[in-house]
A and B are shown apart, each in its own frame.
Chain A
């Protein structure tokens, strides 16, 4: 059962911008990371420490956090961005990973 809440799906046209939200009480306490899972592949780290991108991740992907919500933004949408996106944080009181249910992005 997911403790972080994400919309099940979002969609936008190629070239446009989309945002994916993630909310939950744990977010206010700790850093969020975001993962992209292309169809049939393993997840890949997109954003960590709320806003930082690993080497090789284009700056079309951005992260932000405000209070108990976090947002993943993707600009200049491409068909290759069609994937499931997950937010993840850490619950220090329970010493466990906490995940969102995932959001499927469709590029129309």
Chain B
């Protein structure tokens, strides 16, 4: 059974860079897409971005200028870097596997996230 585990420093100072890693176990990283989602305290979920096993990325337009997602298939890890963090970036950060499909009636891609990590709390202070 596939499991995802987030890791990284829990605290950084304003203007510094957030760096998180998600380690995949119990399955292959060389398929699917790999996502980052966050949840500020007491608020809803926010999609950050995802990466394919081959390195293709999509990002939330509101975060795109500060975010980089990369993948290391040899280590079965993918990572999130977010620059110039502020208190508004304080959140629980989740990694997840995203399955991509094609909507046959409209020939459009769609994704759903079927395996999630437990999340890691990241504080800017």
Contact = CB atoms under 8 A, between A and B. Distances in A.
B110 to A, nearest CB: 4
B116 interface: yes
B46, B110, B118 — most chain A CB neighbours (10 Å): B110
Interface residues of B, number: 28
Contacts, number: 74
14 contacts: A31-B101, A42-B118, A43-B113, A45-B114, A48-B99, A48-B114, A54-B114, A88-B47, A90-B109, A92-B108, A96-B59, A96-B61, A97-B60, A100-B44
A3 B82 CA distance: 23
Interface in A6-62: 29-31, 33, 35, 37, 41-45, 48-49, 54
Interface of B is mostly: strand
A88 B45 CA distance: 10
A50 to B, nearest CB: 10
A54 B58 CA distance: 25
Interface residues of A, number: 31
Contact of B44 (A45, A94, A102): A102
Interface of A: 1-2, 29-31, 33, 35, 37, 41-45, 48-49, 54, 84, 86, 88-90, 92, 94-102
Interface in B43-97: 44-47, 50, 58-62, 94
Nearest to B63: A96
